[in-house]
Amino acid sequence: MNTRLTWICHGATMASRKALFPLDEPLEGKAAEEAGRMAALPRADRVATSPALRARQTVDALHLQARIDPALRDCDHGRWAGRSIAAIEAEEPENLMAWMSDPEAAPHGGESLLDLRTRVADWMESESALGGHVIAVSHAAVIRAAVAHVLQAPLSSFWLSDIEPLAVIRMTSNGRRWSLRFQH
């Protein structure tokens, strides 16, 4: 069964601008306006969103009706949530390095990159079984995990994808494998 998956990263937030591990913060003032000016999206059979406020606000700005799907939630950053990457690097350099270099590490008490990728891959496979076109509004980390999954890349590649606010990434599945889809 053929499936098209259009990922949309939520709009900009204070956390993304200040390099903080996110909490459930709202979009920045202009982010909703920017989302509202995005090019028209193709018709979708299903639209799903992360339960996070910033994702739900992005869905509203895009004038979409979406079901909230907990599988699309951001990576659980545990006790690092709301803190700056610079502060974590200064206070816990070994833990930060472990999390960034070992896909199974979760020194913050949250989710490892391996757990994140498994969750995202499972969600993608369940959507592939349904076929049609699905739009998913989620987070940069979730989309990076999806890209690594599609490319069958080692999780060390997770850090090599830069997903900006309101980025649109397209994928297709023929029921056996996923592919990235680039179009103009």
Digitized pLDDT (tens) for each residue of the chain, 184 residues in all: 899 999 999 999 998 888 889 989 999 989 989 998 888 888 999 999 999 999 999 999 999 999 999 999 999 999 999 999 999 999 999 999 999 999 999 999 999 999 999 999 999 999 999 999 999 999 999 999 999 999 999 988 999 999 999 999 999 999 999 999 987 6
Chain-centroid distance, C-alpha 101: 19
Q: Please report, for the chain, the start and end positions of each structural domain, with discontinuous segments joined by +.
A: 3-181
Contact, 3 vs 128, CB < 8 A?
Answer: yes
**According to the model, what pLDDT value does residue 87 have?**
95
Q: Which CATH number fits domain 3-181: 3.40.50.1240, 3.90.1300.10, 3.40.50.300, 3.30.360.10?
A: 3.40.50.1240
**According to the model, what pLDDT value does residue 176 have?**
93
**According to the model, what pLDDT value does residue 184 have?**
63
**According to the model, what pLDDT value does residue 53 have?**
97
**176/124 Cα distance (integer angstroms):** 12
Backbone phi, psi, residue 92, to 5°: -140, 55
3-state secondary structure of 64: coil
**According to the model, what pLDDT value does residue 66 have?**
97
Query: 132-138 and 46-49 as β-strands: parallel, antiparallel, unpaired?
Result: parallel
**25/13 Cα distance (integer angstroms):** 7
pTM of the model: 0.95
